Amino acid sequence: MGLRLFNTLSRQTEVFEPLDAEGKSVSLYCCGPTVHDFAHIGNFRTFVLTDLLCRYLRFLGYEVTYVMNVTDVEDKIIARVREARATLKDYTTEFEGAFFEDMDALGCVRPDKVPHATEYVSAIIELILKLVEKGIAYITVDGSVYFSIKKYQSLGCVYGQLTKLDFEQMRPGERVSNDKYEKDAIADFALWKARVPEDGEVFWPSPWGEGRPGWHIECSAMSMKLLGPSFDLHLGGEDLVFPHHEDEIAQSEGAGLQKAGGKFVRYWVHGAHLLVEGKKMSKSLGNFFTLRDLMDRGFTGREVRFVLTSAHYRETFNFTLDGLRGGKSALNRIDECVGKLSELAREVTAEPSATFLDAFREALDDDLNVSLGWSVVFDWVREMNRHLSEGGMTSEAAAANLAAWKRVDAVLGVGSGATSEVLAEVTALMEERQVARKVRDFQRADAIRDELLAAGWTIEDTPKGPRVKRAWSLTEFPSA
Ligand code: AMP
Ligand code: ZN
């Protein structure tokens, strides 16, 4: 049946069929970070979900164009820039750099395109002009531009495709200028905000005077510019459903660039929140961890990734440090098993074992059921360990299972356990052993060998110098 995904648009699980007539290429847009601060791991739950879906689509053989924008101008950023007395560019560049460092540490693939709102101001203006031309957008006395929900509806368009809205409480002509607002504040929203003194130097010229774009129009303009007026998948956290995504649909479909009957986005995928003690992890509640906080406590990016992918994306998930410790030992079990398989397979290569791959695919095809995917992995680990301990496994079987694990891990992205952190310690010990051997302190050299062995590392003395071996990695050291 292939991949099925829960589409917020239909509130149903649907078979995924890309727009591409050949069924090969897939276009995916994810609302990226608002770079006003370090992202917290709640934010990263959503970005890791996007990474997982992108990797899984590639695993299935699709050619994915993955776009993630960077919101580098909106209300909160401007407030922070003012407080910091910095320029917009300097301020956002720092947090964008930190964001991608964290994404790398979490093993997330880099998006193919990372558009910045500030680089798309002319595309944004072009889109607003289209809406003005159609009479859906109107200009206010201060030189701002608003989206008229009533006018949009009068053209037969639906506002509220993702959310049920109560239009009774909406008073015609009422406007909301903030980028973020609640459902009960439903009103015409800002596309372009006229320059005010608090904006400082953050403004652009426009047909309506100096000002800056609203947050929602940024994503409509960037996504359609890069992926076309209709594309396959749009992702974000569940808090973006209203108003951000609802407004994105209104602006994009209001401009009418899609083919007759075509939608702006075919599948809307929203990730549930990461919670802390039952409450949404958020900056405003002060109950958040950044990835850096957790790394300072000795956890690694792959452990955090494991925990963030351990629950189904549509379930809220409670984050705890104990859960993270559990993740560490779960990954150790995989590393040990993969290490033993590599020892046995050595240079032998084989086609991936179908049993493991099929079970994994079946789990992920079902609305990206990654928690089931992980249980398939741990069942496989258990089975491998049993076979290995019984001593009946051939090198070919080990190689086939290892090849299957590599394919599975191309989706899960937890990689090898030989992190640089571990290697740094091992390197230091190896160097110390070399020094001990040089001064003929063989007692110390042997003690180090035993210490490394206890930690799961073996030393092989080769003509090129000693090599340390663990799992499937071989690291060479210069000869003394
Ligand atoms: P922001 O940088 O605030 O625009 O948020 C970036 C992404 O993180 C958006 O897709 C949000 O929906 C998502 N997000 C924010 N808080 C959480 C949370 N606690 N759990 C999961 N995703 C979140
Ligand atoms: Zn967006």
Report whether residue 212 contacts ligand 1, using a CB cutoff of 6 Å: no
CA distance 402 to 416: 12
For residue 431, name the pLDDT band (cuts at 50, 70, 90): confident
69 lines ligand 1 (CB under 6 A): no
Give the closest ligand to the alpha carbon of residue 285: 1
Q: Which residues, 6 or more positions from 294, have their beta carbon under 8 angstroms from its beta carbon? A: 41, 304, 324
The percent of residues above 90 in pLDDT, for the chain, comes to: 81
101 pLDDT tier (thresholds 50, 70, 90): very high
Which residues are close to ligand 2, an ion, with C-beta < 5 A? 31, 219
Residue 211 tokens, joined: 């000002």
The mean per-residue pLDDT over the stretch 251-260 comes to 97
Per-residue tokens: 216: 């929602």
CA 407 to chain centre: 19
Ligand located closest to 31 CA: 2
Whether this prediction's pTM lies above 0.85 is answered by: yes
Region 313-321: what's the mean pLDDT? Answer: 95
Closest atom, ligand 1, to C-alpha of 45: 21
Helix, coil or strand: residue 265: strand
Ligand 1 centroid to residue 281 C-alpha, Å: 9
For ligand 1, whether the C-beta of 239 sits within 6 Å is yes
Residue 97 alpha carbon to ligand 2 centre in Å: 19
36 lines ligand 1 (CB under 6 A): no
What does the pLDDT look like over 1-17, one tens digit per residue?
A: 799 999 999 999 999 99
Write out 393-429 in H/E/C secondary structure. CCHHHHHHHHHHHHHHHHHHCCCCCCCHHHHHHHHHH
- Domains defined along the chain, listed by start: 20-136+152-157+216-275 (3.40.50.620), 321-414 (1.20.120.640), 420-476 (no CATH)
- Ligand with an atom nearest the CA of residue 247: 2
Q: Is 32 in the pocket of ligand 1 (CB under 6 A)?
A: no
State the closest ligand 1 atom to the C-alpha of 235, by its place in the atom list counted from 1: 10
Report CA(134)–ligand 1 centroid distance (Å): 33
**Average model confidence (pLDDT) across the chain:** 92
- Tell me what percent of the residues of the chain surpass a pLDDT of 70: 94
- Banded pLDDT at 41 (limits 50, 70, 90): very high
Q: How far is the CA of 315 from the centre of ligand 1 (A)?
A: 15
Tell me, using a 6 A CB cutoff, whether residue 244 lines ligand 1. no
410 in Cβ contact with 55 (< 8 Å): yes
Q: Please state, in angstroms and rounded to a whole number, the distance separating the CA atoms of residues 386 and 389.
A: 5
Closest to 476 measured CA to CA, from 427, 433, 439: 427
